Amino acid sequence: MKTDQIFHFASEFQLETGGKLPAFQLKYTTLGQLNKDRSNVVWICHALTGSSDFTDWWKELFTDTTPFDPRDYFIICANTLGGCYGSTGPLSINPQTGNPYYHSFPEITNRDVVRSFDLLRQHLGIEKIHTLVGGSLGGQQVLEWAILQPNVFDRIIPIATNAFHSPWGIAFNEAQRMAIAADATWKEDDARAGVEGMKTARAIGMISFRTYDTFQQTQSEKTIDKTDDFRAASYQRYQGQKLANRFNAFTYWTLTKMMDSHNVGRNRQSVEAALSTINAKTWVIGIDTDLLFPLREQEFLAHHIPDARLDTITSLHGHDGFLVEFDQFKQSVRKFLRTEVKKETLV
């Protein structure tokens, strides 16, 4: 049975960059039941605009025909700190002022997020996590959490992600924030401030999420006579409006900044040294056509995380392949779990 719950943390929460939250909450979704020794937990970290309800955007990976069958596992996902699907974020009420944070919401990092997740884990009395899984921004959080708590996780599966965000990725995110900032309403303290700019931002982002071949195959014209109103143009407008119907510009701004600041080596000896502290059995998954998080970034992870292995997904859909190629992902996870069972049998 799927349940949605709220975790309240009533104490001051110090943030990595010096700010603080007087308190916070996390909305989390669970599916399945904990077994007697609480050894069957699968924790999901969602992507940039995702929610805690993984059955909405990744449901094909958690059914009775998948490796993580909810009859066998207790699956949990928390909406990221800074989000807008029930966790504390820019539209939340600041208990110190009685008004929404809006522009005053403090800067947060992935390291802050996984610390908040870890407080939830402790609240639930979960000492060990069978598998930690996440893609894109969620994959960045997987890595940070596995470094923060190396003895908590038996296995991790970081998907289409990186150890530090690239100049290429930061440039795309900055272009999107420039679009939001160009919206005349952006300076207002209103929940819908910057929404038109966010539509443009999402259209920019879609180009990085897909590939030339994606658009060529899905948005080509059926006739050679057109001079305007192209399918690719209407598709971009559609994607902008689709996000505007369910998201807000403050959260988009906050989470893209969080992605930009991702670097597992910060205040540690180096990126490589930080990755070397991961104890979990690691199965890195990359997508061969990913432009935003290219395969070389997953190769780097697999090279520097002890005994990690890399599996590559083939997809027409570029970075968004991690939300599309369900059959390949199920096969990849099965391969990982089978490999680990064989290793344990040999030992």
- What pLDDT is attached to residue 306? 98
Of 77-81, 100-104, 155-159, 338-342, minimum mean pLDDT range: 338-342
Domain residue ranges of the chain, discontinuous segments joined by +: 2-165+263-346, 169-259
- Mean pLDDT for the stretch of residues 46-58: 96
Q: Report the predicted TM-score, pTM, of the whole model to 2 decimal places.
A: 0.96
- What pLDDT is attached to residue 1? 87
Q: Is pLDDT at 338 greater than 90 in this prediction?
A: no
Name the catalytic one among 290, 304, 315, 317.
290
Name the catalytic one among 130, 165, 304, 319.
319
Residues 215-245: pLDDT tens digits? 999 999 989 998 999 999 999 999 999 999 9
- Mean pLDDT for the stretch of residues 317-342: 90
3-state SS, the chain, equals CEEEEEEEECCCEECCCCCEECCEEEEEEEECCCCCCCCCEEEEECCCCCCCCHHHHCHHHCCCCCCCCCCCCEEEEECCCCCCCCCCCCCCECCCCCCECHHHCCCCCHHHHHHHHHHHHHHCCCCCEEEEEEECHHHHHHHHHHHHCCCCEEEEEEECCCCECCHHHHHHHHHHHHHHHCCCCCCCCCCCCCHHHHHHHHHHHHHHHCCHHHHHHHCCCCCCCCCCCCHHHHHHHHHHHHHHCCCCHHHHHHHHHHHHCCECCCCCCCHHHHHCCCCCEEEEEEECCCCCCCHHHHHHHHHHCCCCEEEEECCCCHHHHHHCCHHHHHHHHHHHHHHHHHHHHHC
Q: Is pLDDT at 341 greater than 60 in this prediction?
A: no
The answer to whether residue 208 is catalytic is no
Of 59-63, 152-156, 202-206, 273-277, minimum mean pLDDT range: 59-63
- What pLDDT is attached to residue 343? 55
Averaged confidence pLDDT in the chain: 96
Residues 9-29: pLDDT tens digits? 999 999 999 999 999 999 999
Name the catalytic one among 87, 92, 116, 136.
136
- What pLDDT is attached to residue 340? 64
Q: Is pLDDT at 344 greater than 70 in this prediction?
A: no
Q: Is pLDDT at 346 greater than 60 in this prediction?
A: no
325 — pLDDT class (breaks 50, 70, 90): very high
- What pLDDT is attached to residue 345? 47
- Mean pLDDT for the stretch of residues 92-116: 97
- Mean pLDDT for the stretch of residues 300-304: 98
Please give the CATH topology (third level) of the domain spanning 169-259: Rna Polymerase Sigma Factor; Chain: A (1.10.1740)
- What pLDDT is attached to residue 339? 77
The answer to whether residue 136 is catalytic is yes
* CATH of the domain spanning 2-165+263-346, picked from 3.40.50.1820, 2.40.50.180, 1.10.3720.10, 3.90.226.10: 3.40.50.1820
